[in-house]
Amino acid sequence: MGTSKATHGMVSRTALALSFALVFLGPAARVFAHGGAAHAHDTRAPREPTRGLTDFWTQWTFDPWVLIGLAVASLLYWRGVRTLWRRAGRDHGVRRWQVVAFTAAIASLVFALISPLHAISEELFSVHMVQHLILMVVAAPLFILGDPLLVWLWAVPGRTRGRLLRWWRGKGWLRRVAAFLRHPLVVWAAYALVLWIWHLPSLFQATLVSDLIHGVQHSCFFAVSLLFWYTVVDFARNRRRTHGAAILLIFMTMMQAMALGVMVASADSLLYPIYGERTEPWGLDPVEDQQLAGLVMWMPPGVVYVLAVSLLVAAALEAAEYRTRKREQRQADRRESGKLPAPSTPLSILLLASWLSLSGCAVEDESLRPESFSDTTMGEKMIYSYGCTSCHVIPGISDANGTIGPPLDSYSQRKYIAGNLLNRRENMVRWLMHPQQVEPGTAMPEMGITQQQAGWMASYLETLK
């Protein structure tokens, strides 16, 4: 391809963010809008309140939009996993633990939106906060860890998948918008704005008398949480990015949630009077229920955020160690080649050229020639050059964290390439040179790779045990 490595990296990361916006945010309001069509007048028919635990298991909310949305998401994910594992091998492309994470996300959404928890949340403020907690710090991170957009992409036919990717690559302005939305400062501002605005007494109480407003509130909470956790996970996966920005993002978000929780828990008067007469069947005083809600908003999310920071710190240490190993490996390769190291700055180039001219030498820097490196090192350079890092996770190569194609870890142990070619060197060379001939309509484009370059790339892939 004719684009740079940096451009391809941006495509892979922002494509996921924009795909989330296009695929999920559009229908989200309908998915979470409980009976939106039936309640377009924004008022709710009078209902009989529950009588504590005696009526708990009778309060299931079988909203059709929620059921349809979750069913479609699950079926597409199942189809995508089946296609990926059939082509790349079981546990490749998407890991088993990612499938478990997505399944847990769907289960937690069912528990929050369909189980009796939803009905009880309209009578107990504390239970309502538990519902929001599940949406924002349980279901959302599990959803992102499951990598559903990649899997959904593989659920559609190959030709359609290729057209979608080509369409995305041609929309530069959309990629710029997606990159802006993924900026940590923008993510933090959006999260804080949504959190505080929806807890204003007038808006919050409106959700208890209108199913439509309640659905919009849940959509906003879930959407901004997906954006937040996607940004955090993206930082954690990328070894070349500074993890400090993600850690600061989590810390600032945690402060917002804690501040709101402390304010609610320490309030002497009832912030949401609508709950005043709804807590009696449960044996709770309204103020006590409000204090419990504040603790729910404050403490459990803090545990999740601290855990996320711990994982990011571990990822940062691993990334630093990885960069050190790569630097040492490059230095070792140059020492073994016996060649001069490549100048790293324009000034050093001028000094070297001056020294060579004064000494009467006309020797070019042969450390830049292909023969100065091993085939695997040249393969790594070619993988960078052709932007493979934007579509695949490739062990040993920094910034190779693309999610469009399947990961290439344990490549040498696979039986097939592209789902129908035996895993042999000549077949990999053929696949890299002419993917559209091997599998018409595949998302992998023709990039003009030469046979020698494909051989180098195959040499590197063969080292992935």
Q: Looking at the 3D structure of the chain, how many domains does it have? A: 2
Contacts of 362 by beta carbon, 8 Å cutoff, 6+ apart: 356
Q: Tell me: do 105 and 220 sit in the same domain.
A: yes
DSSP sequence for 97-156: HHHHHHHHHHHHHHHHHTSHHHHHHTT-HHHHHHHHHHIIIIIHHHHHHT-HHHHHHTTS
Q: Tell me: do 310 and 377 sit in the same domain.
A: no
Q: Tell me: do 379 and 261 sit in the same domain.
A: no
The pTM of the full predicted model, rounded to 2 decimals, is 0.64
> Residues of 160-176 as b/e, b for ≥16 C-beta within 10 angstroms?
ebbebbeebbeeeebbe
In a domain, 235, yes or no: yes
Q: Tell me: do 290 and 377 sit in the same domain.
A: no
Find the domain containing 251 and state its range: 5-322
Q: Tell me: do 303 and 445 sit in the same domain.
A: no
Q: Tell me: do 145 and 230 sit in the same domain.
A: yes
Element (H, E) at 232: helix 211-237
In angstroms, the CA 417 to CA 88 distance is: 7
Q: Tell me: do 186 and 268 sit in the same domain.
A: yes
| pLDDT tens track, the chain, 465 positions | 434 343 334 434 444 444 444 334 434 434 343 433 333 344 454 445 554 555 666 678 787 888 898 999 999 999 999 988 887 777 777 889 999 999 999 999 999 999 888 888 888 999 999 999 999 999 999 999 998 988 888 888 877 777 777 777 777 788 888 888 888 899 999 999 999 999 999 999 999 888 889 989 999 999 999 999 999 988 777 665 667 888 889 999 999 989 999 999 998 889 999 888 888 778 788 899 999 999 999 888 889 999 988 888 887 787 777 777 777 777 776 666 655 454 444 544 444 444 444 444 433 334 434 444 567 778 777 776 666 766 777 877 766 666 666 777 777 777 777 766 777 888 888 888 888 777 766 667 767 788 888 888 888 888 877
DSSP sequence for 417-429: ETTTEES-HHHHH
Structural domain ending residue among the three candidates 295, 322, 349 = 322
Structural domain ending residue among the three candidates 281, 304, 322 = 322
**Domain of residue 427, CATH code:** 1.10.760.10
Structural domain ending residue among the three candidates 322, 351, 386 = 322
Q: Tell me: do 292 and 438 sit in the same domain.
A: no
**Comparing C-alpha atoms, which of 204, 208, 185, 177 is closest to residue 47?**
208
Q: Tell me: do 315 and 383 sit in the same domain.
A: no
Cβ-contact 285, 279 below 8 angstroms:
yes
Q: Tell me: do 294 and 386 sit in the same domain.
A: no
Q: Tell me: do 285 and 165 sit in the same domain.
A: yes
SS3 content of the chain, % helix, strand, coil (to 5): 70, 0, 30
In angstroms, the CA 221 to CA 339 distance is: 58
Element (H, E) at 453: helix 451-461
Q: Tell me: do 309 and 440 sit in the same domain.
A: no
Q: How far is CA 251 from the centre of its chain?
A: 19
